[in-house]
Structure 1
Amino acid sequence: MSVRRMETPNYENSPVNGESRTRENCPSGDSAVYKWLGFSFGLLCIIQSSLNIYLWAQVDQNSNESKNISTCNFTCVSADDVRTLILERDQLLQEKLQFLQEKNQLNFSKDLLNQKNKELLQNNSQLNQEKNQLLQEKLQLSKDVTLLNQLREHLLQDKNNLLQWNSQLNRDNVQLFQEKDRLLKNNRRLYQCTKQLLQDKDELLRENCQLEHDLNQLDQDKTKLRNTLSRLKTTNGILIKRKMMCNDNVIRLQNQLIELQSELYMGWRRFKSGCYRLSSTSNTWEFARQDCEGSGAHLVILTDKAEENFVSSFGGAEKFWIGLKAENTSDTCVCTWTWVDGSSLCYRNWDNQEEPLPTWTYSCAHVAQNHAWLVGPCDESYYWICEKEL
C-alpha cells in the first residue's frame, strides 16, 4: 500500500519583502504592524516545513517496518495523528487567509496614508511658495520702511528749517511792531504840531484879512475917521468878543477831537456821524444799556440797511443786543416796540420777515449770527454795541 506523498505548499516571502521595502517610507506606527505581519508569515512557513518533515519521517519509518513484517496490516500513520495534522494544517491555512486579509487591509491603509502623504506634500509645497512670497513681501516692506525713514528724516530737516525761519520771522515781526509804535507816536506828535500850526495859520490869516480890511477901510475913510471912531471902537469890541468866542470854540473842538481820538483808540469805530463800540464781555440787556449810558452813549439804534451791515460786520459772528425793547402789559400780547431813545420802530429786519409776538413781560431784540433780528427774554446774556453821535 503506497502512501500518497503530501505536497508541501510553497510559501513565498517576496510580498513580505516587498512590503518591507515599501514600509520604509511609512510612519513608525504602521512599520511596527508590517514587521509583526512579516514575522507571522515567517513563523507560519517554519511550522508548515516542520509538519512536512515530520510527515516524511513517519512515512519513512512505516516503510521500513513494512519491509520486516510482511503480513502487517500497514496503516502508515495513525488516523488520529493524520486528522490532527490535517486540522492543524487547516487551522494554519485559515490563519494564513486571515493574515492575507489583514495584509490587504493594511495595504489599503497604506494607500490611504500614501495619498494623505501626497496631499501633505502638496500642502507643504504650497506653504513653501506662500512662505517665499511672504519673504519677498517682507523684503519689499523693509525697503519701503527704509524709504519712509529717509523721507521722515528729510521732513524733520524741513521742519527744523521752517521752525528756524518762523523764529526769525517772529523776531522780525516784533521789531516791525516796535517800529510801528514808534512811527505812530511820531505821527501823533506831528499831527498835533500840524494841527496847531494850521490853527495859528488860520488865526493869522483871519487877523491879516481883518488888518487888510481895516487898512483899506482906513485908507478909504481917512477923512471920516473922526466921525466913525466911535463906531469902529464898537465894531472892534464886537470883533474881539467874536475872536474870544472863536478861540473858545477852537479849544472846545480841540478837546472834543482829543476825546474822540482817545475813544477811537479804546475800541470805538466811526461810521458816518456816529461812533460804535463792541463790548468785550456778554451780559443782560439792562446791564448793556447802563454800560453804554455810563460811557456817554446808548445801545445801537439801527435806522437803515447800511448801518446794520456796518454794525453786523463790526460785531462779527457774535450775537449782540440792540437798543430795541417791548413791554407786554396785556393778555392779548399787544405791545409796541420802541428804541432806547423813545423813537418808534421804522426800519425792520426780523428773522421771519414778520414782527414777533413777545411772550415775556419784557422782550428784547438781538442780532443773530445770520444778521437777522431775534426776540428773547431780556435776562439772557449776549454781547452789545454802543452808539455815540458826534
Structure 2
Amino acid sequence: MSAGDFEVLILQRDRLVQDNKLLVQDNKLLVQDNKLLVRDKKQLVQDKKLLVQDKQQLVQDKQQLQLAQDKQQLVGDKQQLVQDKQQLGRDKQQLVGDKQQLVQDKQQLAQDKQQLGRDKQQLVGDKQQLVQDKQQLVQDKQQLVQDKKQLVQDKQQLVQDKQQLVGDKQQLGRDKHQLVQDKKQLVGDKQQLAQDKLQLAQDKLQLVGDKQQLVGDKQQLVQDKQQLVQDKQQLVQDKQQLVQDKEQLVQHDRQLVHENDQLVQMVNQQQNRINHLQSELNLSSCPSGWQRHTVSTCYQLSSSKNTWEYARQDCASKGSHLVILNDEAEEKVVSGFGGDGTIWMGLSGRINGYTNNWEMTLVDSSPLRYTNWADQRWDTWNCFCAYVHYGSSSLETWFRGSCQDHHYWICEKHPGSVCRG
C-alpha cells in the first residue's frame, strides 16, 4: 500500500468518525425531542384533566349560577387557549415531518452505522406512538369543546332564570371571587404555553439550520470525491510514464554495458599487442614532452589554440604530422591525452566541382579506413577541416568546421623518426 492510499484511508476514517459523532448528536437530539413530546403528552393530559374539572365546575355553576359576563369572558379565554394549543399541535406536526426528513437524509449518509439506525427507528416508532396519543388528546379536546357548547346553551337558559336567583347574589359574589382566582391561574397557564411556543419555534429554526449544514457537507464530500478521482487518474498516468522511462533507461544501460565490454576487450587486445611488441623490440622512448601510445607512436598536445594550417605546419616542423585516428582504440587513447577540449586532427575535405562529391585527404596521404562522424549537415561548407570533441555527450566525436577556427592540436610521430641531436 502506497503512502497516498494510506493517507486516503486515514481521511476516510476521520470522515466516518465525524459522521459517527454527528449521528450520536442527532440521536441525543431525538431522545430530547422524545422527552419533549412525552412532556407535551403529560401537559395535554393535565389540560384534559383541567378541562374535565372545568366541565364539572360549569355543572356546579349551572346549579349555583355564576355571573353571565364573567362566564362569557372565561369561555372566550378557554377558546383562545384551545386555539393556541391547536396551533402548537400543528407546529409540532410540522417539526415531526421535518425531523423525519432529516432522519432519512442521515440514514442515507450513514449506511454503515446500522446499529444507530435501528436506535433511530425505535425513536421514530416512539414518536409515532406519541403522535397517535396526541391525536387522541385532540379528539378528547373536540369532545370537551362540544360539551362546552352544550354548557353555553345551558348557560343561556340559566341567564333567563337569573331574575329568579337575585336573592342568591351574595353567594354568587363569593363564587365570583373564586372564579377570579381561577382566571389568574388560567392566565398563568396561557403565558407558559406562549413560552413553550417560542421554544418550539427556536427548535424549528435550529433544525432547519442543521439540515442546511448537512446538505452543504454532502456537497463538499461529493466535490472532494471528484477531486480525488482526478488526482488518482493523474497519478496513474505519471506512473505509466515513469515505467516507460525506466524501460528506456534499462535498454540504454544494457547498450552502454555491451559497448563498454567491447571497449574493454579491444583495450585488452591492444595492451596484449603492446606487451608482445615491447617484449620483441627494444626501441628508444619518446623524447621529452611527448607521450607514447604504442611502441611505434608518440603524441604531443599543444599548449594553445590556433588554425588548422598553423597546427599542420607546427607538427611538420617537429618531424611529425597532425594526429590520424585509425581505430577506436587509438581514438580512446587520444581522448585521454586531449581531455574534454576540441582538437584538430590530420583530416580535411572539399567538394569536387566535377562530381559534386566530397574528397577527403589525410595529412600523410594514406587512405581513410575509419570514421566516427557526429550527426551534422554536409551542405554547410565547400571545404572543411576535421576536429574531435571528446566533451560531447554523443559517442560520435568527429566534427567538421571552418579551417580558420581555433582549436588545440596533437602531433603524431614514430620514435624511429625522432631527432635526438
Q: TM-score, normalised by structure 1?
A: 0.37
Q: Larger C-alpha radius of gyration, 1 or 2?
A: 1
Q: TM-score, normalised by structure 2?
A: 0.35
With a CA cutoff of 8 Å and minimum separation of 6, indicate the structure with the bigger relative contact order: 2
